[in-house]
Amino acid sequence: MESILIVDDDIELCAMLRDYFALQDLDLAICHNGREGLQAALDGNFDLVILDVMLPELDGFQILRQLRSCSQISIVLLTSRDEDEEVIFGLESGADDYVPKPFNPRELLARIRAILRRRTFKTVHGNGVAAKTLERGGFILIPASQSVQYQGIPLSLSPVEFLLLEALVESIGTVVPREELTERVFQRAYHPLDRGLDMLVSRLRRKLDMADNPGALIKTIRSAGYVLSLRG
């Protein structure tokens, strides 16, 4: 049984999720205080942590930053609905995904399952079972280590940024639909109100531009998707 920690001061929500997750063969530990939640995440052997942004003593962002400084544990943020800055900051700080409140428990469960599948996929690649190197258009991507170079310039990418770039590099010059990218990167169906993919593309664009302007450009094709092209 996989073990999950939720840090949220909503007592009724946590109790409901514990009962629901138990039916899905998931063990849910609960902390209602940010400082206690951080300690539990550091001391426990959890497969994933769910962090509410608004918490007493330590907020979710503070916990996220401290965990990311010493751990690669999977993390899902619970954010306020339509607060784009919360989502951007959380993803840039290392969260694997986010779920806006209020949410359907089935959606949260689906996000958790997708993250755990991605982690298993990465572990398999890391063991060399399906390792490969992708070299196209000046990019070199190595899935086993999730390392990236463009024209000899190393790029530091998060796991989801790596998956997005990998999908775009494989199809350089060809439009990749939003639906396909969302399924591949987040392992969930695309929804028009889900801003996760758009924000992820914006982050990847900034990182490409900051790497001495290497020349790679991600274009938005309205009502279709995204395409990776090369300047010059």
Within-domain flag for 128:
no
Task: Please give the angle made by the CA atoms of 188, 119 and 103, to the nearest 5 degrees.
Answer: 40
CATH code (residue 219) = 1.10.10.10
- Are 141 and 87 members of one domain? no
pLDDT tens-digit series, residues 155-191: 888 778 888 999 999 999 899 999 999 888 887 778 8
Residues 100 and 193 in one domain: no
Cα distance between residue 65 and residue 95, in whole Å: 9
Does 129 reside within a domain?
Answer: no
Q: What is the pTM assigned to this prediction? A: 0.66
The domain total for the chain is: 2
Residues 12 and 105 in one domain: yes
Domain residue limits at 213: 134-230
CATH number of the domain where residue 58 is located: 3.40.50.2300
| pLDDT the model gives residue 97 | 86
Whether residues 214 and 114 share a domain: the answer is no
Residues 6 and 112 in one domain: yes
Paired with 30 in beta bridges are: 6
Residue 173 lies in a domain: yes
The pLDDT of residue 193 is: 74
| Better-predicted residue by pLDDT, 129 or 21 | 21
Provide CB contacts within 8 A for 70, sequence distance 6+: 42
The reply to whether 154 falls in a domain is yes
